[in-house]
Amino acid sequence: MGIQLRKGEMPSAEMDMTPMIDMVFQLIAFFMMLINFSQAETNKRIELPLSALAIPVEDTDDHNFITLHVDDKNETIVMAADDYSLTTLEGALAKRRSELEKDKLDTKKTRIVIRADRKAQTGLVQEVIGTCQKVGFENFKLRAEQDRKK
């Protein structure tokens, strides 16, 4: 049996907006989280060196990377918002490597992104790379800011 309508009367159509509003709030929350994770690769204490050869960061689907911020002022290395010295960095990287292996990710393909301050000593950056290699990481990217004066 259906709804009985009088002659010439149109059926009323009401739409429940609750699921659509719920979906909009979920999308807003998702994009807020996405923005926060993309900002994790920056650190306001680090001023990147200028280089005419620097190229913009390529967008890849590869999310298997670790960003290290090398701060020259007090020789600290920032990884995931935590400060480490050269001596404590090795243990933190070893822990991160075991987490990646537990998640069945290939640590040989894990990219170490090094964002060293423009005043950082080359020797400090080399020591950071050496520490990463000791733990077993082999893939490195150094970040610089493009010199736009030319």
Low-confidence ranges of the chain (pLDDT < 50): 37-40, 51-57, 59-61, 146, 150
The predicted structure's pLDDT at residue 43:
54
* Full DSSP string of 22-43: HHHHHHHHHHHHHHHHHGGG--
Are the C-beta atoms of 95 and 140 separated by less than 8 Å?
Answer: no
The predicted structure's pLDDT at residue 66:
87
Question: At the top level of CATH, which class does the domain 45-146 belong to?
Answer: alpha beta
The predicted structure's pLDDT at residue 130:
92
